Amino acid sequence: MIFYTRRAIKDILENRFLNVVTIITIALSVLIFSAFGLFFLNAQDMFNAWKKGVRIMVYLAPGTSEAQRLDTRYRLQTIAGIQSISFISKADALELMKARMQRQTSLLDNMRENPLPDAFEVTLVTESNSPEKIEFLAQRIEGLPSVSEVEYGQQWIDRFANFFNLFKLVGYGMGAMFFMATIFIAANTIRLVLYSRREEIHIMRLVGATDNFIKFPFYLEGLIQGLSGGLIGLGMLFSAFSAIGSQFEQTLSAEMVAIRFFSIGTCAAILGGGMITGLLGCFFSLKQFVKE
């Protein structure tokens, strides 16, 4: 094993330019693909944190009596998926509006009557925070007596969910393209090395060397290229994350969301993917070379 490793390192040093190009290509592919993954990871955390705070506002019809309000509250409590219910009177809602419009309170001073309705603020359990379940609960609540309107930001939820699905699709597509391009470049690099050493390989075959004996150092070379490229790509991503991460943490501190880097297991998987990329490049190149 030591002999094969030395042989692989020797080949890398003798063909520095070709191997550096391959390593840089793998590093850039790992960087771009991992950046997509890191963005998606933290965006998913933000979306999950937001979903935990989803509220459905249930506005009561004008003239709703106390008995009707209590009946509506009881009916809401019987609906599965609702975690808590809090009543907001029209007077409290007006005071809350004034507090949020401190610089425009003069607009509300001349109102003869409170135009806001009584309402219930409904908090959902985490399991019911998917867009489909929220829509189902909203429709069910809207059908209750004394309920005039239900509001929960459906348009925003749908847009964000569609953006996530589109982002996943784009990420998978770009990942597949970079993966194939990197394998192609690694294969061409190994192929050029093989052609530069074809006379030496031919002599080794004449003296009885097996194909496995000839191929194994190249497989190790591909693994070293993939590992080196993966380490460089992850190192670049971590440096960028460390440089700009603190700025995002300050922005998101009020939302109780902390951005995070990949776990050790995920980093190991990314490095493994880089090594597999280099290995596959060697495999396809050697397969074609042996046929020739």
Give CA–CA dist 52/44, Å, rounded. Answer: 12
Q: What is the pLDDT of residue 112?
A: 67
Amino acid (one-letter) located at 173:
G
For residues 266-288, one letter each, b for 16 or more C-beta atoms within 10 angstroms of the residue's C-beta and e for the rest, the string is: ebeebbebbbbbbbbbbbbbbee
Residue 156 pLDDT class (50, 70, 90 cuts): low
Q: Which long-range contacts (CB under 8 A, 24 or more apart) does 87-91 make?
A: 87/118, 87/119, 87/120, 87/121, 88/118, 88/119, 88/120, 88/121, 89/118, 90/114, 90/116, 90/117, 90/118
CATH value of 55-151 in 3.30.70.3040, 3.40.640.10, 3.40.50.280, 3.40.50.1100: 3.30.70.3040
Residue 254 pLDDT class (50, 70, 90 cuts): very low
* This model's pTM is above 0.85: no
Domain boundaries of the chain, sorted by first residue: 2-50+165-291, 55-151
Amino acid (one-letter) located at 67:
A
Give CA–CA dist 274/223, Å, rounded. Answer: 8
Listed range (102-106, 230-234, 263-267, 283-287) with the worst mean pLDDT: 102-106
Tens of pLDDT, residue by residue over 130-153, are 777 788 888 888 888 888 888 876
Tens of pLDDT, residue by residue over 82-117, are 888 888 887 887 777 667 665 555 555 666 677 788
More confident residue, 70 or 176: 70
